[in-house]
Amino acid sequence: MSYSSRLEAHAKSIGRDTKIAIVGAGQMGHGFGCQVDRMPGLTVSLVIDIDPARITALYLDLGEANPVISDDKNEITQALVAGKRVGTTVSSFLSELPIDFVVEATGVPEIGAQITYSCLKAKMDVAVLNVEMDVTIGPLLHKTAVDNGVIYTVCHGDEPIEAKVLVDYARDLNFEVVAAGKGKNNPFEPLSNPDSVRERATAKNMNPKMLCSFTDGSKTMTEMVALANTTGIPLSKRGMYGPAATVKTLNNVFALKEDGGVLDKAGVIDYCTGDVAPGVFVIVRSDSKYINHEMTYLGMGPGPYFTLYRPYHLASVEAPMSVARAVVDRESSLFATSLIAEVVTMSKKDLVAGEKIDGIGGFTVRGYADIAADARAENLVPIGLIQNAIMKRDVPVGTLLTYDDVELDKNSLIVALRKEQDEMGLTYAS
């Protein structure tokens, strides 16, 4: 039975639609809202954003010209109980509101931590479009959800989940997974900043910081770390190889070196540049001579390496599938119980003592994928913790920052939660 019919059945069983709150009405949140509101049994009831104009713009696209806009908790509560659409610029009391499901779409690790942790503790289901937060404190958030009998999930639509679907498929068919990953969408410009991409961002109607996180590689590194953590498949190496490839050459590029490829071992996560974007892939092989014959017969190439490929990911358009799965199946689409990979912090320019770090997609640092054991041994600081940190010493461009290099923001919740996660032994796989 399709999710559409099952969501309708669920709505009938509880006597109303599931009430969705969206935190962050930027590009991702707006797209998510437009799609999830079209799904039977699900209704966008609350939109939270610091910019009221973004709230009203989303509701206009949903056909609602007169939402209740208020920052008063009692007024908001009454409106939600009455079945009205509501918008607010205040998120501090979200966990106290009559909402069934929270979607965190800010993309900011600190805000994501505040929203997600408080709502999970209040026994509310939460789906996030904030993989930057997940690779930092995902194991703690997953445990918090389990302890409170609710769902925590990273949303469908981004490459980690769509690649994971292919990994699960390959594993279910008992193929050996040689490599899994994505095609990188944007040109790799590791020292780019919001100013250098501003013209392109404006042309694409994007936030320059978001585009910068794509071009400097932070987003790709983060997505591949999330894929590693959720599948248990390690990174190929620190920073990964990131070779050029096409859809037709994927199975040749991601082969072992002795077979003409780039890999020194099988069973790894990596990415490539080229026409593979915006798709995801898994390279597989089998120890069965006959299965290899069948794969060749079925048009999958001569072997012994075969490519499973999905040519697209639909971002916020298919992200609501994770809400549907959580509501009717009580399942998380993507989570990690511990980390085998980390997104650490690399300087994008010479940094000086006393300088404040501006975070992901900014002028000072970028994310860099690393093997968790190596990051831990070298005391490297995750980029999810770095915003508003103060440099304690001078470092040159291209330096991987350690905890000794920076003074982290003492008022940051995500910093506190990461410390709790570390102390609980949840961070690294044993």
**Mean of the pLDDT values across residues 240-246?**
97
Euclidean distance between CA atoms 52 and 87, whole angstroms: 8
- For 306-348, where are the E strands, in sequence order? 306-310, 341-347
Euclidean distance between CA atoms 214 and 193, whole angstroms: 10
Give the pLDDT confidence score for residue 1 in this predicted structure.
Answer: 75
Give the pLDDT confidence score for residue 407 in this predicted structure.
Answer: 98
| Contacts for 362 with CB less than 8 Å, ≥ 6 apart | 193, 194, 209, 212
422's enclosing H/E stretch is helix 413-423
**Mean of the pLDDT values across residues 313-329?**
96
**265-319 pLDDT tens trace:** 999 999 999 999 999 999 999 999 999 999 999 999 999 999 999 999 999 999 9
User: Which domains, ranges and CATH numbers included, belong to the chain?
Assistant: 3-157+320-329 (3.40.50.720), 159-313 (no CATH), 341-423 (3.90.1210.10)
Q: Residue 34 pLDDT > 80, yes or no?
A: yes
Angle, alpha carbons 95-15-70 (nearest 5°): 40
* Alpha helices for 148-270 (secondary structure H): 159-172, 198-203, 208-215, 218-231, 250-253
Average per-residue pLDDT for the chain = 97
Note whether 413 and 324 are within 8 A (CB). no
* Alpha helices for 289-405 (secondary structure H): 289-297, 320-329, 372-377
pLDDT above 70 coverage of the chain, percent: 100
Note whether 208 and 353 are within 8 A (CB). no
Token pair, residue 51, equals 């910019």
Q: Residue 429 pLDDT > 90, yes or no?
A: no
**Residue 12 CB neighbours (<10 A):** 10
Q: Residue 71 pLDDT > 70, yes or no?
A: yes
Amino acid at 178: V
**409-425 pLDDT tens trace:** 999 999 999 999 999 99
The candidate with the shortest Cα–Cα distance to 48, out of 16, 80, 14, is: 80
Note whether 107 and 135 are within 8 A (CB). no
Among 72-86, 162-176, 199-213, 273-287, whose mean pLDDT is lowest? 199-213
Q: Residue 254 pLDDT > 80, yes or no?
A: yes
Label residue 158 left, alpha or beta by phi (over 0 means left) and psi (-120 to 50 means alpha): beta
**Mean of the pLDDT values across residues 32-51?**
97
120's enclosing H/E stretch is helix 109-121
**369-402 pLDDT tens trace:** 999 999 999 999 999 999 999 999 999 999 999 9
Q: Residue 134 pLDDT > 70, yes or no?
A: yes
Give the pLDDT confidence score for residue 430 in this predicted structure.
Answer: 60
The position carrying tokens 């996030």 is 128
Q: Residue 205 pLDDT > 90, yes or no?
A: no
248 three-state secondary structure: coil
